[in-house]
Each structure stands twice: as structure tokens, then as C-alpha cells.
Structure 1
Amino acid sequence: MEKALTGKVKTTYVENVPESADAERVIRQLAADGNKIIFTTSFGFMNPTLKVAQSFPNTDFAHATGYKMAKNVAIYQARSWEGAYMLGVLAGKMTKSNILGFVGSYPVPEVIRNIDAYTLGAQSVNPKIKTKVIWVSSWYDPARERQAAETMIAQGADVLSQNTDSPAVIQTAEEKGVYAFGWDSDMAKFGPKAQLVASTLNWSRYYTDSVKQVLAGTWKPTDTLWGMKEGMVVLTPLSSAVPPAVAKLFNEKKQAIIDGKLMPFAGPIKDQAGIVKVATGAVMPLKELMSLNFYVQGVEGSIPK
């Protein structure tokens, strides 16, 4: 965004902000400093963003992965479940044990969607798979992520995925000789043999478009949901460990999602109890998908309360 708008913008960022009262303090300070648009980039920043926005009606705000909007608060997020589904396709083809592992951060709809999509993608090519989930109650905690990965590997999982941001899962997979996936960033350098592919997020077009609108005085709060088609969900090149036939299938399914021909949450979908949640020929409505709170059949365990 800075490169696209060279000379037109000045940016400020604050890192490692806890999802607590500190968030409101930091957001309020950014607004008081005169920033014209403020992007708050974690689920737990939603309510602090709304609160500060009330005090600064002439400042624009955009919150990532939230569901509450206001006159000067937009929301934006990625269809990250498209990437998770594609990782599942690869996992379903590459597993030998038919046991997959998933390291979860917090049991919010965003993460549950990715667990379910990962499982559905795997089931689309291998109906025998089961997915084990361990929650670590953090977006970034290398020690707990490593412990979770080691536990699932000990339980037979030979392909791991995650909805956390450290490379600990990839590093553990590399050490233990199993496969894993990069999440939110390319983690191949941490596990060159382990990483089969990474599902990454490229927010640059959204940030650039938003700031252009602020500069032009045309910005309005919108609910933006972009995926592979829009270039927000980006899959890295496949590992050479992926056989050509599997790579061909992977790329066909990827293109089908981009073309709108493959919907990851298309029926039939059953929950763990075998109750049909999405009938054959139907697609889960977006409103239901965005508030998803159940595991699909094939995921073991229960969602923490």
C-alpha cells in the first residue's frame, strides 16, 4: 500500500497489542494522533474498535474478522476456509495413517470453519480420514503449539495443520518426519521437507483500495469478504514431495474454487452426531457459515465452551 501510494500516505503501526484494555488505549492513541483510517487486525479488537470509533466520528476504522459495523467502522476478512479446504485435499491424499492433526487457537467461528473445511477437503478425496484437534488458547505460543503437535503425532497424526501463527508446528513436523502446512505465511524455511504448501493472506489490495477511498473522500463502511478469486487467499507453490497426479488434482480443485464451481461448504454435510446440516445439492448459507459452531463428522473431540 505504501509503495502504491508513494508520497501520499504516512503509516504507523503498533505490534503485540493484547486483546484487553490495552487494545482500546492503543487504538484511541492512534486516533488522537490524527490517523485518518485505522485497521485493527485481530478478532478481540472488535469491541474496543467500536468504542473508540464513537469518540472519533471523523476517523475511519476497519476491523479484521469481526461481525459488528458502525457508521465509521468497516469489517473485512478472508475466505480463509478456501485455503483450509485445499490443505485438506492435500492432507487426504498424502496421509498414510488417515489421521490428521489441527492446532487451534481460540474456538471462534473463524477457526472452527477452518477445522471443518480442512476436514471436508480431506474427506473429498479420502473418506477414511479423522481429524484430531488440540486448542492452545493463543494465536502465537510456540511452546504450546509444539506440545500440541508432538501430542498429535504421538497419537498417529502424520499431516498437521494449524490456525496459529508461529512456525513451531512446521518445525516439529520437520523433526518428526511428518507433513504440515504453513498458515498465514510461507513457513517452508522452517520445515523444507515438512511443508507441502502454505495458505497465506495478502491484504495489500484491500488496504490500498481503502486508503485510496479515504484520500478521495469516498470511503464508506463495507463488509468485505475476499478469497482466492480476489487474490486475498494465496497458496504457495507445492512442495516437490507432492506426486504429479496429486498436484494435478490439487490444481484442478483450486481452479474450481476460483471459478465458483466448487464450494467447500456444499452438502451433504453432517455434524458429529450424523445429523444432516447441509443437504445434498445445497450450500451452507453465508450467515450460518460465519457463525459456525459445530464440528463436521470426522472431527474428533468437542469444541471448548
Structure 2
Amino acid sequence: MAILLHRPEVHELGQALAALRDWQDDHAGMQLHPGDLGWFWRFGPESTAAAVRTWSRDGDILAVGLLDGPGLLRMTIAPGARRDEALARQITADVADADRGVLPPGKAYIEAPSTAVLQDVLAADGWDTDEPWTPLRRDFAEPVEDPGVRIEIVGPEFVADRVDLQVAAFEGSTFNAERWHAMAAGPAYADARCLVAYDDRDNAVATVTVWSAGPGRPGLIEPLGAHHDFRGHGHGRAITVAGAAALRDMGSSSAIVCTPTSNAAGVGAYKSAGFRPLPEVRDRRRDA
């Protein structure tokens, strides 16, 4: 059967989310998560649909991709299809053809599972490797410790603090209240929480959004940040621990996060919060 590339309509996004939930596994390594689509939903359902691509055979979704920035395709593949060479060749052909609407011509990046044969096919087609990223995981076999600070779950009364923290933590952020409400209205947010940490003077100091993929599956931390005026006081560790606790309470088997290996401070903060580094991963890069 032919492998079909599809750009889903808004009403079809639930199928992509369901596939991503089903594919999450503690032993699968870092991969595209339903929370990645959930975080992108801050731009609205139509923009999210425009950024998603699926590859299917005989009606079954085999791969899901998210155009998560100019020239960046983040994707994962069904566990049973990761060694499917026909699928790998079709994806490689689709991303090479700008007319198919996956990637624009010129410099581009693809994030894909490290164990997929797609990595080999892309390499043979001239895709190099990019800078390393470090995935980290915290297992929930044991209870999560108290974060040691006041933590609030974000609802309407805490949206302003949540937005202010995002802008203060990430230079150039365009996050605002409208985008928070758009994200919170998306289907993936039914299994998510936004948290805000406050210090002993009631300053909002750090924030995290965590995404469950369902009971017994790994949950995702995306994003996490501390206010630039309050760094160096352990607030990043505290909000990381709080996010892990929230995921455990939602039934997640573990918490996963990924950060550039060059971000030594970030890697150190996650390790201090009980996360264990996993083998580095690298995107594939096309320079022309």
C-alpha cells in the first residue's frame, strides 16, 4: 500500500494526538509528545493544524511531524514502523520536495527517533548531524519530595503571573494571556497543568507546564523557566520538582525533558531535581 502524506484539518488533530499518546514509552527514548502539540496550540487550532503532518498506510498513522519553527520538523514514528525502510524513504523524499509543503528549501532540521532507520536514510541523502541535546528523565517509582516553596496551579486568577514569568524567562517570548487561554482550550491541555512558584515574599519566581500522555506513560515538561530577577536561589529546582510531582499525581510513569547539552546550568538544575541524563541526541541538519 502507498504511504500517504497528509496535512490534517483541525477536526483530525485528535487522531494525531491519540497516536502520539499511544507511542509514548519509558524505553522509547526522547520523541515528539502530545504535549508538544499542546504547547504549540497557544497559536490556535488552525495554526496547529497547519503545522502538523502525518504519514499513513492503509489508514493507519505511521509518523507524526510538527513544523515547530522555520525549517524545523520535529517528528516521531510508530514503534512498529521505525525500521520500515519504505516509510523512511518516503519521508526523506517528502522533506526534499518543497512543493509537498513539509520543509522549505534551504537550511532545515529534522528531529527524529535515534533508533529509526530514517536516520540512516537521511544521512545517505546528505543530512548531517547538528548540536547535541541532553534528554533527562525522572522515574516515579518513589514519591516526589516537597518543592519547599508555595506552588499554585494556574487558573484565571494566576494567568497574569504565568505570562509575566514566560516573558521574563525567555528572551523574545511572544506569550500573552490570549495565547495561554488558546492553549488551555486545546484538547491536550485536559491532561496538563501550568504551575507557578512563589517565594516567601509572594513574588512569582518560576513556572512550568507539564503534559501527561495518560496513566503509565511518560509525561513531558515543556516549557520551564525562572524569572531573570530571581535566579540563583533554587527556584528552578523547586519548580522542576513541583512539575514532576504534578505529573506523578496525574499517573505518569516518569517525567521527561530535553535541553541543549551546551546549557550546562539547565542540565545541572534538572539533575539536582532528581532527573537522570540519557544518551545525547542530535537533530539532522541540511545546510542547503
TM-score of the pair, normalised by structure 1? 0.28
Larger relative strand fraction: 2
Structure possessing the higher relative contact order (Cα contacts under 8 Å, 6 or more residues apart)? 2
Rg larger in structure: 1
